[in-house]
Chain A
Amino acid sequence: MAGEGVDYRPMWAELGLDLPMHDALLEAVGGMYGQTFMTQANRPEGMGYLDFVMSEVHGLRIKELDDFRKSGGKVVGTYCLYVPEELIRAAGAWSVGICAGAEWAYDQVEQILPRNTCALIKSMMGFKLGKVCPYLEEADLLVGETTCDGKKKAYEELGKLQNMYVMELPQMKRAKDVAFWRSELVDLIAKLEALTGKKVTAESLKASIKEVNDKRRALQRVNAARAADPAPISGLDSLLAVQVAFYDDVPRFTQMMNALADELEARVADGVGVAPTGAKRVLITGTPMALPNWKLHQIVETAGGVVVGEEMCTGSRYFEKLVNEDASTLDEMLDDLAAKYLDINCACFTPNEGRLDDVVRMARNLKADGVIDYSLQFCGTYQIESTAVQKTVHDAGLPVLSIDTDYSAEDVGQLSTRVEAFLEML
């Protein structure tokens, strides 16, 4: 997926990537992208932007990061929704969400981590050990968080290989937890200021809160259009939009997503869709799907269903809630940030009933015919919560299918059978 005519190899070599392996990765992802995305019928034209971004995922965007750093800028890599992009930007740095959505260098990973570690964590280590992710190599600092035990402990290993800072995330959401989380935000600011040499001011933070909110608003518009029947955009394309949101240039991405939303709204008005009216509509809930994990969406949509929403970190949890924009002092903004971020409903928290309400509310709003509960194997938090999710959905009168899988293609045949049977049942 390298850009036409531009040779990025010197840049990749300078970053220390393993060039032959990196070529193999790009070829694999490029092939997958072509088969998964370009074969879809009647895509919105606005997807052209995301196709372009994806074709330049290790090219132009890396060049932008590279140029930014060469002019003194700093890049901060994150792995979880809880690490506030607003603070990173307010300190003058750029934030990139590092993907961990493909099986890579597991042979090396398994020398460090147990085999029964979730695919996300293994992939996170695999991209580092295999030296194939230019985003990681562009990151001056990685910010982790104490969400699940697997990630928490894996960060200790990752921290041996790269400059890493870990935030302590509470596991409950009481007032004292919010206060504690706020103090963690203050510490992060100090860390970021030391990195960039720039102060986080009321002005810079206000601007970044607005900017990131605008990005979320654009994604909200794109996703609201999916409530229409026929759905104006596929689940695959909507998922991709959120995946790209984690690393693309913020104002540009926002502008392009608003343009896409304009198109989708027009499609809805004209009754234009990507699947026939009446196609079975599915809401997916569960663990995040990091780039390039498109497995379940592809299975559902190949089987004739359409995914109309994702209650996950690469979905509604990323864009649904905004940070209050009315604050004028830094103190108030930190209060607002702490409150908004602890309001994300992740299974690492206990209790996490908000998520159950979210699933039912989204299923209703998006007119889903059924819900698929998706967990990565060995992800204790989501797998255990699955029981409650299934019961809640069931009690709300909707069919639910629970799926446990990883990034490999091994079980695609079996999963397809289950998904097809589920769609036939709806």
Chain B
Amino acid sequence: MRVLGLDIGSRSVDAVWLDDGRIVDWAVADSGFDPGSAAAIFVDRGAHDAIVSTGYGRHAARERFGGTAITEITAYGIGAAALHPDVASVLDIGGQDTKVISLGSAGKVTDFEMNDKCAAGTGKFLEVMARALGFTLEEMAAAALAAKSGVVISSMCTVFAESEVTGLVHRGEDRGRIARGLHESIVTRTLGSLRRIGAKGPLVFAGGVAKNPAMVELVAKGFDGAVLVPAEAQTVGAFGAALCAARSEA
């Protein structure tokens, strides 16, 4: 039996195909201005017996492709628990939102928090700051790792932080220290959210920002418990959706 999980996010559309419970294929595409069409290409790729959509485009996808829809929270819980059976919490930092999830047994969500109101502390935030520093994302992460200490950044609002960073650069502050400070301020906030929901280790760190080595190192340093980064951190949601599809068919 072949099933498809789709995660239609604001930045990317992720797909995972399972056959008898095993991953047989996965793919990622840019959402662009028409994420539905990006998803349609995946849906048309071959026959499947069931489909479950997640992500902010889940309802539109369900209407267009059939199947059912679940939220990212539930999908990440299922996906993370399948990758690491003893996982107790999930951190997902995506392009435009951050989620922290506490899990009970078998990936069942017991509490969660989402920052979805603004870009503060998300992938978007890091992109804007890298631009302000004249770095690529990779360069910024490397510079942050190389710096011994970070500058304290007081604003979390993307717009204010950007002008703060510009001001620091003009004053001749070391770009590496600024980069480290930016990463530290996101991590401090994220750890606060994790504490608020009583998140325990092991923690699965997923989402696009989990590819950033500076973020991973700082989260691992501050979190009380093991931090695991899945190989395909971005597709955990789609994987969870696919598993949900497989279970409903079984």
Q: Which of B104-136 contact A (CB under 8 A)?
A: 108-112, 114, 116-117
> Which 4 interchain pairs have the tightest Cβ spacing?
A421-B73, A421-B71, A414-B116, A425-B109
Using C-beta atoms within 8 Å of the partner chain, give the interface range for chain B.
Answer: 10 to 19
- Closest B residue to A390 by beta carbon equals B196
Tell me whether B53 is interfacial, beta carbon within 8 Å. Answer: no
Q: Are A417 and B71 in contact (CB under 8 A)?
A: yes
Spell out B's residues near A (CB within 8 Å). 56, 70-74, 97, 108-112, 114, 116-117
From residue A419, how far is it (CB to closest CB) to chain B in Å? 9
Q: Are A417 and B116 in contact (CB under 8 A)?
A: yes
Chain A residues with CB under 8 A of B72: 417, 421
Tell me whether A418 is interfacial, beta carbon within 8 Å. Answer: yes
A424-B73 contact given A399-B111, A413-B56, A417-B56, CB 8 Å threshold: yes
Tell me whether A420 is interfacial, beta carbon within 8 Å. Answer: yes
State the interface size on chain A (CB cutoff 8 A). Answer: 10
Chain A residues with CB under 8 A of B117: 411, 414
A418 to B111, CA, bound (A): 11
Spell out A's residues near B (CB within 8 Å). 399, 411, 413-414, 417-418, 420-421, 424-425
Contact of A421 among B56, B74, B108 (CB under 8 A): B74
Q: Are B114 and A417 in contact (CB under 8 A)?
A: yes
9 more A-B residue pairs beyond the given contacts A417-B56, A418-B114, A421-B109, with a C-beta to C-beta distance below 8 A? A411-B116, A417-B73, A418-B116, A420-B71, A424-B70, A424-B71, A424-B74, A425-B74, A425-B111
A5 to B108, CA, bound (A): 57
Chain B residues with CB under 8 A of A414: 97, 114, 116-117
Chain B residues with CB under 8 A of A399: 110-111
Chain A residues with CB under 8 A of B71: 417, 420-421, 424
From residue A371, how far is it (CB to closest CB) to chain B in Å? 13
A414 to B56, CA, bound (A): 8
A411 to B114, CA, bound (A): 13
Q: Are A425 and B112 in contact (CB under 8 A)?
A: yes
- Closest B residue to A419 by beta carbon equals B71
In the assembled complex, 9 residue pairs joining A and B whose CB atoms fall closer than 8 Å, in A order, are A413-B56, A414-B114, A414-B117, A417-B71, A417-B114, A418-B116, A421-B71, A424-B70, A425-B112
A417 to B74, CA, bound (A): 11
A420 to B73, CA, bound (A): 9
- Closest B residue to A410 by beta carbon equals B117
